Amino acid sequence: MSGGAYVLIFDGLSDWEPAHALAELRRSGGMEVVSVGFTSEPITTMGGLRILPDTTLDAVDPVDMRILILPGGELWETAGPPDAVLELLGRAEAAGVPIAAICAATIAAARAGLLAARRHTSNGRDYLVAAAPTYAGADHYVEDALAVRDRGVITASGVGSVEFAREIMAELDVLDEASRAVWFDLFKHGVLPEPA
């Protein structure tokens, strides 16, 4: 299957949250990583990285995507998800494109209605209830998981970036199951792989 890993970028994004996933999608999955900005102007991440978007939100076509990744950041909690993001999430879901949201970006997934009938997680059920007035998925919230994957939607807590990456890799069939387990033990627990 063709298509790139599209990641939404914006001032103040939590740059560490999608990092493990993007590295493995590119390195092990052979995917192009495409940064999507609200405009074509450079952005500065929470960690101070300046990134020039490859494309803009209004130019994105879901047919080109293998996955759409939304990192966390204060944008989601302060301004809330812009209408253009909610519209893209709807188009991506309709096209069968997997969507991955971590930390505060789960607010956008909730407001777009993606969590109403799917198992999911975030930074807490009450966090979503407070931040997304239209959130209708409280009964499907999974309390004890740092990342959850359900029918093409991956959600994660802000402290679950390694779990987030593992679920994205599983969704896209990057590495086999045994290799993903070795990868997870290495990056989550510091367990070095057995010598070949």
Give me the helix-helix angle, 161-171 and 177-189, nearest 10°: 170
Does residue 53 contact residue 40 with C-beta atoms inside 8 Å? yes
**Helix residue ranges, H only, 63-195:** 74-78, 83-94, 106-111, 125-131, 161-171, 177-189
Of 92, 97, 103, 148, which one is the catalytic site residue? 103
The candidate with the shortest Cα–Cα distance to 169, out of 13, 54, 16, 31, is 31
Beta-strand pair 147-150/153-156: antiparallel
Give the whole-angstrom CA distance, residue 72 versus residue 17.
Answer: 7
- Catalytic residue at 103? yes
- Region of 106 (left: φ > 0; alpha: ψ -120 to 50; beta: rest) is alpha
Rounded to a whole number of angstroms, the CA Rg of the chain reads: 16
Residue positions annotated with a catalytic role:
103
